[in-house]
Structure 1
């Protein structure tokens, strides 16, 4: 039985194993490789996407749980790369190796949607599940604060 979901505003059909992790469907079936595989056990946050606007770990979310729902990947957050978080990330050179950054950006975008003016404690709590092997946490926090201020440093 085919499954229908909306990915980045486009209705998609899936005819495979409904228990397949969303991450593999996005990357292998749709070619949306911006969402990365990190740990595979929901501990790093690298694979975060939005499902109906809420952050979700694509490595642990079966495609079956997305039926009729809206999935947004980093490619759909802002196709031109102009979301305030993406702009702040570039302006402050947040990424070092960059591998974890799509999950970081997706989590930060969800935080700012829910809390437009977060405190440092809010940022720390929201970003707690996102690991960065390069340790760019001070730049991540600075970029979130800049995005919250409308892009002004």
Structure 2
């Protein structure tokens, strides 16, 4: 099977039912998406497939029909995505385990809703769990990223 991840095409020899998360981590060595719960509940494994957020822990490889973007493909150290910049500026992460999934969810959310209210942000981000409880900082970072994206940054 072929899989395009972060702009690079890979040939992978895996069973179609193998979860995308394990293909990314074990076959390709891409460790940004994390294993959290294994039942698509916590969001630590969130990646984009053809631009849409998916829970890689429960997405069978055989169903992946478009390019995959992980946190590693979102931006570069020299050119972070606006959401990544806001995360750094507001020091959102504590342990950091959930943060790649949080960021991938926020990016997708802001593409669909570029001018969110606090309640919109809370509702959208509630699908991702943070054991450290950085929810107020997550909301502030999503809000700041939305403002920065509106200003072209």
TM category (shorter chain) comes to over 0.9
SS in 2 for 1:102: helix
Q: Does 1:73 align with 2:70?
A: yes
Q: How is 1:1-153 mapped onto 2 (pairs within 5 angstroms)?
A: 3-67=1-65, 69-80=66-77, 82-150=80-148
Between the aligned partners of 2:59 and 2:12, the Cα distance in structure 1 is 15
Between the aligned partners of 2:72 and 2:111, the Cα distance in structure 1 is 18
SS in 2 for 1:59: helix
Between the aligned partners of 1:71 and 1:122, the Cα distance in structure 2 is 26
* RMSD across aligned positions (CA): 1.3
Where does the alignment leave 5 or more consecutive residues of structure 1 unmatched? none
Q: Which deviates more, 73-82 or 124-133? A: 73-82
Q: Figure out how many residues of one structure are paired with residues of the other and give that number.
A: 149
Where does the alignment leave 5 or more consecutive residues of structure 2 unmatched? none
SS in 1 for 2:31: coil
Q: Which deviates more, 43-52 or 4-13? A: 4-13
Give the Å deviation of 1:79: 2.7
Between the aligned partners of 2:140 and 2:127, the Cα distance in structure 1 is 18
Structure 2 length normalisation: TM-score? Answer: 0.93
Structure 1 length normalisation: TM-score? Answer: 0.93
Give the Å deviation of 1:64: 0.5
Between the aligned partners of 2:3 and 2:30, the Cα distance in structure 1 is 15
